[in-house]
Amino acid sequence: MKVESFFAVPIARHVLEGADSLCPELEALFLAREAEGDTWRHQKFIDTMHGALFESRFDLFNWPDPPVRRLAAACHEAVAGLVQRLNGYTDEGMSRLRFDYHSWFHITRQHGFQGQHNHPNASWSGIFCVHPGETVPGRPDSGLVRFHDPRGHVDMYSDPGNRELKAPHNTGTCDIRHERGQLVMFPSYLRHEIYPYQGRKPRIVVAFNCWISRVGGRVVGHG
């Protein structure tokens, strides 16, 4: 019997090189920008955001600050590598792709959370953990990222024949706990939510959306 896997959803995790020194610099920068109030805040109302959550403007990867430039370059390198691997592109094929980004940072304080959502008008999204916040005893779901199965009718019937399916054929949700310096990349259509954060120290992440077009020239990253 030959069993094949179709309709798989790739979720990639990658620890950025040099994150141990990069993350403290980003943390200090973002906390300073948060303290300036609305100067750096994204002004559009987003109905999935609740509680104590600061969201910056969506031009983060264009900022000239050295730690942001390092982060933008590292995230682009990771996205480009993932795109090449999953699509089977040659180096020549990659040289004809242009990568564009929206990018921002989140600072979540106690009880802040985000409802279920996805990221329209992009092919890939990512979340980089600058600081995961603090572990709260008895609350393993604090600040948890939960991805939901995109197959709309996958749960229409459950019995012992499909209830214990193993990866990659399992159904339901995928939970990821942020780790300092870790980048998580996923298809932008994938719905996800952030559980209420219960810690007292701020939880800080960078998020981005990427869309790609085919042009001449080399592989470039743009904010």
- Residue 103 and residue 187: Cα distance in Å, rounded? 15
Low-confidence stretches of the chain (pLDDT < 50) are none
Q: Is the pTM of this model over 0.85?
A: yes
pLDDT tens readout for residues 35-44: 998 999 998 8
Question: Average pLDDT over the chain, rounded to whole?
Answer: 94
In words, the CATH class of domain 12-42+54-150+170-222 is mainly beta
- Residue 38 and residue 121: Cα distance in Å, rounded? 26
Task: Give the pLDDT confidence score for residue 26 in this predicted structure.
Answer: 98
Residue 110's contacts (CB-CB under 8 Å, 6 or more residues apart) are: 52, 197, 198, 199, 200
